[in-house]
Chain A
Amino acid sequence: AAGVIQSPRHLIKEKRETATLKCYPIPRHDTVYWYQQGPGQDPQFLISFYEKMQSDKGSIPDRFSAQQFSDYHSELNMSSLELGDSALYFCASSSPDRGTEAFFGQGTRLTVV
């Protein structure tokens, strides 16, 4: 079965650079979530989209932005990267029904040096 696809799997950037993370949800899933997981931490919700509109916003820095496109894939844009942005970034997708589970991608490991 198709799963959530994230690219790239690994990314190394220098401070103050920009990064773009991509997420391709499971077919027919119209809701996408982004999470950030620091070392030894639980996943922290960043932002979500439903039908290409932002539906919820969590602890996402102003330096980050995201969008969902017409084909439902999503991109997380990160600018002015800081060392503290080094983390595992997960994308998840689901149908909008509250009772359905979210399916997670393998994550993108971002290292800022």
Chain B
Amino acid sequence: AQSVAQPEDQVNVAEGNPLTVKCTYSVSGNPYLFWYVQYPNRGLQFLLKYITGDNLVKGSYGFEAEFNKSQTSFHLKKPSALVSDSALYFCAVRDKYPGGGNKLTFGTGTQLKVEL
């Protein structure tokens, strides 16, 4: 089964500093990887994805992620954090299911807290 792991339950960073939220994956074949963000009592919002191509993927709100095949990682990054970035971040991997309906399997989530 395909899975992702987020080793940190919480990440704290000062506003203006770079942030990294870690994710490692375990998949067979080529991974299809995603990052989602969840604000309190809200649905998950898509940030970015890696399918193929450049290892550095750019997404919404200034976020980017680096795909590293040798380290089986897909860490989420942002050069300069904002207080408004404080939220719950989920890494996810997509299974391939014959006939469509490929489900997403999520990591356990990392709570990002950006402080002034």
Closest-by-CB residue of B relative to A48 is B101
**Of B66-74, B76-84, B103-111, the one with at least 4 CB within 8 A of chain A:** B103-111
Query: Interface SS of chain B: helix, strand, loop or mixed?
Result: loop
Contact status A42-B94, CB under 8 Å? no
Contacts of A101 in B (CB 8 A): 34, 46, 49
Contacts of B46 in A (CB 8 A): 101-104
Interface residue tally on B, bucketed by range: 20 to 34
Asked if B56 lies at the interface with its beta carbon under 8 angstroms from chain A, I say: no
Q: Could you give, for residues 7-32 of chain B, a 1 whenever the CB lies within 8 Å of some chain A CB and a 0 otherwise?
A: 00000000000000000000000001
Q: In the complex, what distance in Å separates the CA atom of A24 from the CA atom of B26?
A: 32
| Further pairs besides A31-B102, A92-B104, A102-B46: 5, Cβ < 8 Å | A45-B104, A45-B105, A90-B44, A98-B94, A106-B43
A residues neighboring B (CB under 8 Å): 4, 30-31, 33, 42-43, 45, 48-51, 53, 55-56, 58, 88, 90, 92, 94, 96, 98-99, 101-107, 109
Q: What 4 A-B pairs come out closest when comparing CB atoms?
A: A55-B101, A96-B100, A50-B100, A50-B101
